[in-house]
Structure 1
Amino acid sequence: MSTDAPERRTYSYLGPAGTFTEAALAQVPEARGQIWRPVSNVGQALSDVVSGRSDAAMIAIENSVEGGVSSAQDALATTPNLRIVGEYLVPVRFWLVGHPGATLDDIRAEGVAGIAAHPVAYAQCLTWLGENLPAHEHVVASSNVASAIGMLDGSLPAHAAIVAPGVALHHDVEVLAEDIGDNEQAVTRFVLVTSTVAPAAPTGADKTSLVAELPKDEPGALLELLEQFSTRGINLSLLESRPVGDELGRYRFVIDADGHVFDERMADALMGLRRFSPNVVFLGSYPRADRQVVHYPERYGDEAFVEARDWLRALLAGEPEA
């Protein structure tokens, strides 16, 4: 009897330790106890999956304040043989940290204090900063983690840093203030991406992600794309345009549709979309993070589609009407 331990799986994520992406990966039960590989950008994370270096990658895809993450959307649209297998929500919280032993009064006493922060984090904390540190200067950092490291090692001219809460667990910093973000409801949506696999069985609370291009730039083209879903009772929870990049006026649309590809209505919509669009990228059907059951009118249920198909087959076969 073999006593060999099962091979550990590798998960790539935007690192280093302490990022929101790491917090999202921590929500994946099957990733616990496995190898977590920190990378520097979305492209590298997906490249790890394509090359087989990693079994999966966790990437940010959408923020409730900033909207879609364009770099992730473009990478998923143009990198073949990838599938989204799950989504995870992470509340966006920001803390202000300083050197060990520092206080908020110490920072105020600096006069024009340097506050290291990633531009996105800084923009989401302006109200708190204006009320509590009106005399400050934004010191741009490449990431939430880099803002803390740069403050600590002196590579950034900063007296304090805006960070994700996880950063304080991995670095010797003093927490000066918690939850300084302007929007308490802010959340970032992450997706777990693997190489191409068959979709998991539907749960009833599912989402289907895809990318589709318009066949040409003409009146009604977008309406025709949307009708592939509306005429089948499918709600779209995300619709964002991204330039194809080869010429002006050419766009692809990133779409999240409520339902699963195994649902008759969704399968029918995707076939209609395939006939309409010159390029459709199916990114996957997977459980919704909020686990909310997808509701739809009875006429769009699987039974209605099956009955309609059987009715047509009977007509083509010349069978007498029941």
Structure 2
Amino acid sequence: MARIAYFGPEGTFTEQAARSLADDGDELIPFETIPLALSAVRKGETDSACVPVENSVEGVVPATLDGLAEQEPLIAGAEALLPVHFSVLTRPGATDIRTVASHPHALAQVRLWVEANLPGAKPVATSSTAAAAVAVQAGDFDAAVTAPVAVQHYPLEVRATEVADVRDARTRFLLVRKPHHPLPEPTGADRTSVVAAAANRTGALAELLTELASRGINLTRLDARPARGNFGEYRFFFDFEGHVAEPRIGDALAALRRRCRNVRFLGSHPRADGVPATSQASAGNEDFVEAADWVAAVRRGEQA
């Protein structure tokens, strides 16, 4: 039985994601913030942590990126992809809705719905969707925009469900743990993530992207975050197709390591959407193996 930290409290989308990634008998433990959930793994209080990493509408989750780039390394071993449709909860019998509380990402994804259905209601940001439910229960606000699972934890009334301005909005979550575990085996539909601190000079990012492109590697996400305590310098977060066990991916990581002052491997794992990696002529793994074998033969004097 494993202990899994997650960005809580109870009733968040992250709890739903953690449940989808957990095995029978695993214990789910909520933490108030993403840094606290990651810290629980680093301290050995839990075996892993489930945290959100990006949303198709609002983009990346900065707390997760910064938390993975700093302190003791953590490795993503799995991911979950959840459709993001919200429920609007109120205290039983409530009629006058003057305030609507939720996490800022959630409020942004239901803004049009709130304007049309709760005219005049003031949006109020909270630390999580579930924290909004707790505040409504306490009488601090009139309505909460939450994950559907929240109603199972809090004695509130569902005023509306399946609420979303963008119907196909999705959030991706990572299950991270300490790196001293075997990586998942390659499946052909994998994602590899790294963060690199490139030199602050003209063309530095272009050089890193060229290393991927020249090996036929498809980039699925690129983000830049400022390096804390060093104004003007940035870390680049890369997600790309493939698994570190593949020759072309390993070759690319080695090239990034040569070019950067610091590269941190953040994991290789199956993609939740099951999309297979793209393949280009002369850039398949077999091409890298054949080329390496040829160089080895030349060095042995067996082939010119």
* TM-score band, normalised by shorter chain: over 0.9
Identity over the aligned pairs, expressed in percent?
42
For residue 266 of structure 2, what is the amino acid of its counterpart? L
Q: Deviations over 1:83-112 (max 9, x none)?
A: 11001011111111222244xxx33xx6xx
Let me know the Cα RMSD of the aligned residues. 1.6
With over 3 angstroms needed to count, the CA separation of the structure-2 counterparts of 1:182 and 1:319, relative to structure 1, is same
Residue 18 of structure 1, aligned match among 11, 18, 24: 11
Which runs of 5 or more structure 2 residues have no equivalent in the other structure?
none
Change (3 A) 1:52 1:132: same
Q: Does 1:315 align with 2:301?
A: no
Who is 2:2 aligned against?
A: 9
Equivalent position SS for 2:116 = helix
- Which has more radius of gyration? 1
**For 1:213, which of 197, 204, 223 is the aligned residue?**
197
Q: Helix, strand or coil: the match of 1:299?
A: coil
Gap change, CA 1:138 and 1:309, over 3 Å in 2: closer
1:133 maps onto 2:133 in alignment = no
- 8 A Cα contact 2:137 2:154, kept in partner: no
State which drifts further: 263-272 or 132-141: 132-141
Name the CA shift for 1:101/1:211 in 2 (closer, same or farther; >3 Å). Answer: same
For residues 63 and 145 of structure 1, what CA distance do their matches in structure 2 show?
A: 18
SS at match of 1:179: strand
Change (3 A) 1:100 1:237: same
1:4 aligned residue: none
Deviation string 1:237-271 (CA, Å, 9 cap, x unpaired) is 01100111233321110110100001111000011
- The runs of 5 or more residues in structure 1 that have no matched partner are 1-7
2:103 to 118, 122, 146: 118
Return the alpha-carbon distance in structure 1 between the equivalents of residues 13 and 122 of structure 2: 25
Task: Specify the SS of the correspondent of 1:23.
Answer: helix
Give the CA deviation at 1:213. 1.0
- Which residue matches 1:56? 48
1:247 corresponding residue in structure 2: 230
- Equivalent residue in structure 1 for 2:219, among 211, 236, 247: 236
Matched residue type, 1:74 = D
1:320 deviates by 4.5
Q: Which residue of the partner structure matches residue 265 of structure 2?
A: 282
Aligned residue pairs, count? 303
* Deviation digits for residues 146-174 of structure 1 (CA, Å, limit 9, x no counterpart): 222222222x1x33222211111211111
Asked whether the equivalents of residues 52 and 174 of structure 2 are also in contact (C-alpha less than 8 Å), the reply is: yes
Please point out which of 64, 69, 76 is paired with 1:72: 64
Residue 24 of structure 1 aligns with an amino acid whose one-letter code is A
State the Cα distance separating 1:43 from its structure 2 match: 1.3
Residue 88 of structure 2 is aligned to residue 96 of structure 1:
yes
Distance 1:140 1:251 in 2: 28
- Secondary structure of 1:274's partner? helix
Q: CA deviation at 1:317?
A: 2.5
Match of 1:3 in 2: none
Mapped contact 2:8–2:128 kept (Cα < 8 A): no
Selected match of 1:269 from 252, 257, 279: 252
Partner of 2:208: 225
Tell me, in whole angstroms, the C-alpha distance in 2 between the residues paired with 1:312 and 1:161: 63
SS of equivalent to 1:175: strand
Q: What residue identity is the alignment partner of 1:15? A: G
Name the aligned partner's letter for residue 232 of structure 1.
Answer: R
SS of the residue corresponding to residue 261 of structure 1 reads coil
